[in-house]
Amino acid sequence: MIKFPIYLDYHSTTPVDPKVVEAMLPYFTEKFGNASSKSHIFGWNAEAAVENARKQVARVINAEYRDVIFTSGATESVNLAIKGIAEAYLPKGNHIITSAIEHEAVLDTCKSLERKGYEITYLKVNEYGLVDVNELKNSIKDNTILVSVMYVNNEIGTIQPINEIAAVCKSKGVLFHTDATQAVGKIEVDVVKSGIDLLSFSSHKIYGPKGVGAFYIKSRFPKIRLTPRIDGGAQERGLRAGTLNVPGIAGFGKACEIAKAQMEEEMTRLTLLRDRLYNGIISGLDGVKLNGHPSKRIGNNLNLTLKNVDSDALLIAIKEIALSTGSACSSESVETSHVLKAINSDNGHKHSAIRFGLGRYTTEEEIEYTISKVVEKAQFLRKTSPLSSHSEEGEYAKK
């Protein structure tokens, strides 16, 4: 039996795994100490929980546990990485390279630095959302101090050639940061093998609690300098002051432990369900375009453009299914998704994209129901909408 509503927006956030909740509970009541309290058992228990979680988080990215810093989430980690490097390495240069399809946490941070006089290069991507490694190489200058390219795109699921990007950065003596929020716990992320210097991700994308994240900073070869973003204490190697969120950190650690153990099996299952969803929709509808790379993509992501179907209207028509659009807008007066614009995804149908995000609790029955409803409602909207009578690049593009 299907339980409604159906949740297919796992890229946005995930429910907390019951085992994670169980791991967190003692640190709200019984073991409520401050991890910085070094003089009694309450503080020692809290500190032990934090250090255990640090090791669990480190294992999922194959890092030294001492190189993991706890933050409030990926957004803070990204700010710490980019602004921290920008300030610390200003004597060397003020040029930072990123891509045009980064998450707003990266793009807005870079725009903030631009307003302060930093030079930012935004690399273009191809129709699949992939960065050109040669273009990256040619963009590096004497004053380049950092490259920041996301591991997996949060909208279209494309996986970037991280190993090649990191290798170019190393050869040029430039630090490399990646926002791995949509990658950790879903595909193998190995900071050592890939040569990653700095990495950011969040707990709530992998069935952990909200409000906690991690920042990896390689401690050796090279020794990386970083200007802290929050002052007021010596916590987290002096890089992130403030009382640690012990329950959240304990839950984050457990979520990473579960993700590492289940990742391969889970992604295999979700990829099969994702492919079933795609094949079911394209067998029932014509005019469907896949956004992102057909194979170099995360297994639980499906981003489709349904031509001549307004995505907002479709979401209203199938409100029993929690989905999201591939667009950051709700009306023509608001800018469309920067990711879809960057890959030149059907300008005439820029408001026809739907993102499906599958996850740990997605079932075959839910996928079959979603196929039938998307096909049914999309066909209905095409019949009743004046858009269907126009050509792909005609009046619809002007609407």
Distance CA 196, CA 203 (A): 20
CA angle 188, 193, 196 (to 5 degrees): 90
Distance CA 70, CA 200 (A): 10
Q: What is the DSSP string of 369-382?
A: HHHHHHHHHHHHHH
- What are the angstrom distances between the C-alpha of 170 and each of 77, 151, 160, 244? 22, 17, 17, 33
DSSP designation for 30: T
Exposure class string for 274-283: b at 16+ Cβ within 10 A, else e: beebbebbee
Catalytic residue (choose from 110, 169, 256, 329) = 329
Centre a 10 Å sphere on the Cβ of residue 15 and count the other Cβ atoms it contains. 14
Centre a 10 Å sphere on the Cβ of residue 175 and count the other Cβ atoms it contains. 24
Centre a 10 Å sphere on the Cβ of residue 313 and count the other Cβ atoms it contains. 17
Q: Which two tokens stand for residue 56?
A: 């669990």
Element holding 48 (H helix, E strand): helix 41-60
Distance CA 213, CA 249 (A): 8
Report the side by side order of strands in the sheet with 175-179: 68-71, 213-217, 198-202, 175-179, 144-148, 95-99, 119-123
Phi-psi region of 106 (alpha: psi -120 to 50; beta: other; left: phi over 0): alpha
Give all strands (DSSP E) within 16-125, no chain letters: 68-71, 95-99, 119-123
Tell me, yes or no, if 329 is annotated catalytic: yes
Q: Which of the residues are catalytic? A: 329
